[in-house]
Amino acid sequence: MSNKLNHSMSLAKPDALDISNKQKVALSAGVIGLFILALALFNTNFPNKALFLTLSLGLIIGGIVVYSREAYLSKLEGIKNDGVWFKSISSRGVWGWIVGVILTTFYIVLYFFPKYLGLGVDGAENTGLISLFDPLSHLLSGRNASQWFVYGTLYTVAILAFGYKFILKYRHNRYQQLRTVSVMFFQLGFAFLIPEFMYVMNNDLPYYDLKSIWPLNYYIFDEWSVNGFLSNGNIGIALLIFGILSIFVFTPILTYKYGKRWYCSWVCGCGGLAETAGDSFRQLSSKKMSAWKLERWLIHTVLVFSIVMTAAMVYSYLGYDKNDFWLTRGVFISLVIGFLTIVFAAVMLFKRHELGKDAKYGAIGFFIVIALLLIMHYTGTTDHLFYIKAGALRSAYGIYIGSIFSGVIGTGFYPILGNRSWCRFGCPMAAILGFQQRMFSKFRITTNGGQCISCGNCSNSCEMGIDVRHYAQKGENIVRSSCVGCGICSAVCPRGVLKLENDTMKGRINPTEILLGNDVDLMDLVNQK
């Protein structure tokens, strides 16, 4: 094991943290399940695919279930973080790197070389791994499996099995349990089953995971997608309207009331995987100030990119003539610019003082977007925008953001960068929700007076890399764009200092220098300044 990366003071690997025999058996079962998938990948032609698929997934799920029960139910309820920085897999040790490389490779093949997984091209039969999943796909929707079906199934299995593990780990914590049941429900129902059933009912409808909201769902307003909706009568129109309402109406209301957690750690599929399968890696996210700086540049750049890209996509298939359809290119660009300007003006008017020097960066970002939209409008032709083919922009976004960032780096690097690197550095939806959470929401993590002892458990377990302690030890509430409200900081706090709650906006952000418990005159003198 790499000593270089293990900065723990442990001189020897504590043997006492070895797993029990029952856990070893469970682990072996899981490995056999994975091995069946590997055999399929290398084109073993199983005689009864349905049986072997069931066996494989059954062994994986059963292995995780038995392992977790042994790990947590044999002990009293409480925080179960013993040895996370000793174990190779959760401390960037050899196992961490091996798992990281395997996951990353899987994502690269999945996104860019699905034929290696056995995808039958041009009507050919599936082979390999994908063909193993054909029976399940036939059962659900009557069609052959695709690489996305395989991925969706494994993804769902991971959220369900590791979700169960997480529920046991936090069996004393009702917030954690409800939240986990919620992500398990949304993954199984909304992301996995409902789209399959929708296909059975109407196979012209585009795949639509109802909980996947633009701009996370970056293709929902693409021409093929919108056409798909429009050509399907009322149900299609209803779905399209639902998609638009989701981002412009439902999201702001829910985020105002509950913070972005209603989505990021209760509903979202990316969040769901991070919170369940990724839970063992949460401590790996960097808490350095430099990482926070990088985060703010990166995520807002992606946001700008995704707004401009979506506007360009919609723009590219709109006409010039308002006799054909009221929404022409001119009207559309005016609507977008008008909307952004209203948001920008409202923030500058009401929240200018909270932003400090960040207001300047916000203004720069805003004017860049407006300038890009105007340039697009005045230089664009029928099929070229920004002097390149409109589709090229969209596929660049799809490859670099949709695939490489969210999948390959976001999930593949779980054991290296922590479980939320996509959510933290790349997700444009998180950027929008986070912006609102910081500016206009009742949500905060309340700090309990002067009770913090600066131990650092909160910061250590923050998957979004927030230095929670920095606020808590000043008696200050935590109001940060990136907080997904997972509540683990509150759970691991040994002194009961942190509480996630929705309360009034007033006094939500409360910087203090002198903490509660000291001389009241001193508190008045210093804190009132």
Partner 1 sequence: MEHIVIIGNGISGVTLARHIRKLSDKKITIVSAEADYFFSRTALMYVYMGHMKFEHTQPYENWFWKKNRIELKKGYVKQVETETKTLHFAEGDTLQYDKLIIATGSKPNKFGWPGQDLNGVMGMYHKQDLETLEAHAPNNDVCKRAVIVGGGLIGIELAEMLNSRSIPVTFLVREDSFWNGVLPQGESEMINRHIKNHHIDLRLSTNLKAINSDENGNVKSVIIEETGEELECNVVGLTAGVTPNIDFIKDSGIEIGRGVKVNRFLETNIPDVYAIGDCAEQHEAIGNRRPIEAVWYTGRMMGEVLAQTICGNKMEYKPGHWFNSAKFLDIEYQTYGWVFGKNGRPDYEQHFHWKHEDDTKCITVAYDKNTNQFLGINTFGIRMRHEVFDKWLTEKRDMDYVMNHLSEANFEPEFYSRFENEILQAYTNQLQTA
Q: Nearer to partner 1 by C-beta: 77 or 383? A: 77
**Site for partner 1 contains 189 (CB under 8 A):** no
Q: Is residue 458 within 8 Å of residue 472, measured between CB atoms?
A: yes
Distance CA 306, CA 493 (A): 37
**Site for partner 1 contains 109 (CB under 8 A):** no
Count of positions on this chain that bind partner 1 (CB under 8 A): 67
**Site for partner 1 contains 451 (CB under 8 A):** yes
Q: Is residue 487 within 8 Å of residue 179, measured between CB atoms?
A: yes
Within residues 271-290, the interface with partner 1 by CB under 8 A covers: 283, 288-289
Residue with tokens 């196992």: 95
Interface mask (CB under 8 A) for partner 1, residues 157-186, using x and -? ---------------xxxx--x--------
Q: Nearer to partner 1 by C-beta: 375 or 455? A: 455
Residue of 3, 9, 21, 528 that binds partner 1 (CB under 8 A): 9
**Site for partner 1 contains 142 (CB under 8 A):** no
| Neighbouring C-alpha atoms within 13 Å toward the C-beta of 301 | 12
Q: Is residue 249 within 8 Å of residue 216, measured between CB atoms?
A: no
Q: Which stretch binds partner 1 (CB under 8 A): 142-150, 206-214, 269-277, 493-501?
A: 493-501
**Site for partner 1 contains 457 (CB under 8 A):** yes
Q: Is residue 216 within 8 Å of residue 428, measured between CB atoms?
A: yes
Q: Is 408 exposed, middle or buried (0-12, 13-18, 19+ CB in 10 A)?
A: buried
Coil, strand, or helix at residue 354?
Answer: helix
What are the distances in angstroms from CA 478 to CA 124, 162, 447, 499?
55, 28, 7, 10
Q: Nearer to partner 1 by C-beta: 356 or 507? A: 507
Residue of 1, 2, 10, 511 that binds partner 1 (CB under 8 A): 10
Q: Is 233 exposed, middle or buried (0-12, 13-18, 19+ CB in 10 A)?
A: exposed
**Site for partner 1 contains 511 (CB under 8 A):** no
Q: Nearer to partner 1 by C-beta: 177 or 232? A: 177
State in angstroms the smallest separation of the CB of 351 from partner 1: 26
Within residues 56-85, the interface with partner 1 by CB under 8 A covers: 76-79, 81-85
State in angstroms the smallest separation of the CB of 18 from partner 1: 9
What are the distances in angstroms from CA 423 to CA 76, 262, 361, 496?
33, 14, 21, 27
Interface mask (CB under 8 A) for partner 1, residues 81-100, using x and -? xxxxxxx-------------
Q: At what angle do helices 147-169 and 49-68 cross, to 10 degrees?
A: 20
Query: Taking the C-alpha atoms of 461, 465, 471 and 477 in order, what is their torsion angle to the nearest 10 degrees?
Result: -90
Enumerate binding residues for partner 1 (CB under 8 A).
7-12, 14-17, 76-79, 81-87, 172-175, 178, 283, 288-289, 446, 448-451, 453-457, 459-460, 469-470, 473, 487, 490-492, 494-496, 499-501, 513-523, 525-526
